[in-house]
Structure formats: C-alpha cells, structure tokens
C-alpha cells in the first residue's frame, strides 16, 4: 500500500505540474503518515482524495505539500463521518416510518462534496 500511495502522490504532482515538487523523502514520509493516521482508508478513498486535489476541490497555493495532502485526508475523513451520521439518522427514521426511499451513499457523498466545496470555486 505504501508504494501505491507514493505513486498516487507522484502522479498527482505530475498532473498539477507543481513548480516545486516534493522530493523522494517527502513523498515517502507523507505516504507513511497517511497510512499511520488513516489505516481504515481503502484504495477508493485514496483515489478519491487525490481526485479532489486534481479537480481543484482542495485549494493548493504554489506546490502540493505533505500538509496539503494530510488536510485533504482529514476533509475526506470528516466527510465520511458526516455521511455515516446522515445514513444512521436515515436508518432510524426509516425504522420509524418517517422516510420514504433510501438515498445511496454515493448520492449523499456527492451532496456533501458539492455543498462543502461550492464556495471554493467562487473565490
């Protein structure tokens, strides 16, 4: 998994055309910090984080850094927690008969993602 993360970091740097790319040591340290701090992340999570960065949903000033990546990880984690809370509430409501039809996890994540980063594009 470490090598996969390092490859994602390097791929994202190449995509962004960073003026001052992270060196090999910074890439390795950042990848290891991600694994240490977020051991529950799966490959789709990691791809999602770096896709957000490449799509400009995470603001990067200058070059991508380990701090930028860790901030993106924290946002992803928080969004997942928000989704879990929403789904938990929906499950309680559906058991009480207050909810008609379930919204998929993907739809909920898109809702949160769109609302959270909507203002970033207007700056």
pLDDT in tens, 49-95: 999 999 998 888 778 999 999 999 999 999 888 888 888 777 776 66
Sign of the C-alpha dihedral computed for residues 88, 70, 59 and 51 taken in this order: negative
Look at residues 65, 72, 78 and name the one whose alpha carbon lies nearest to residue 30: 65
pLDDT for the residue numbered 66: 95
More confident site: 12 or 106: 12
More confident residue, 19 or 120: 19
Angstrom distance (rounded) from CA 41 to CA 20: 28
Phi, psi (rounded to 5 degrees) for 40 = -80, -10
Q: What is the mean pLDDT of residues 99-119?
A: 56
3-state secondary structure of 76: helix
């Amino acid at each position: 998994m470490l090598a996969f993360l390092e490859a994602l970091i390097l791929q994202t740097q190449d995509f962004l055309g960073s003026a001052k790319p992270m060196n090999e040591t910074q890439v390795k340290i950042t990848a290891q910090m991600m694994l240490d701090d977020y051991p529950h992340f799966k490959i789709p999570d990691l791809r999602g984080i770096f896709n957000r960065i490449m799509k400009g949903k995470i603001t990067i000033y200058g070059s991508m850094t380990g701090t930028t990546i860790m901030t993106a990880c924290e946002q992803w984690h928080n969004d997942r927690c928000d989704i879990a809370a929403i789904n938990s509430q929906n499950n309680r409501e559906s058991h009480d008969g207050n909810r008609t039809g379930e919204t998929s996890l993907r739809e909920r994540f898109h809702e949160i993602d769109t609302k959270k980063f909507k203002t970033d594009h207007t700056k």
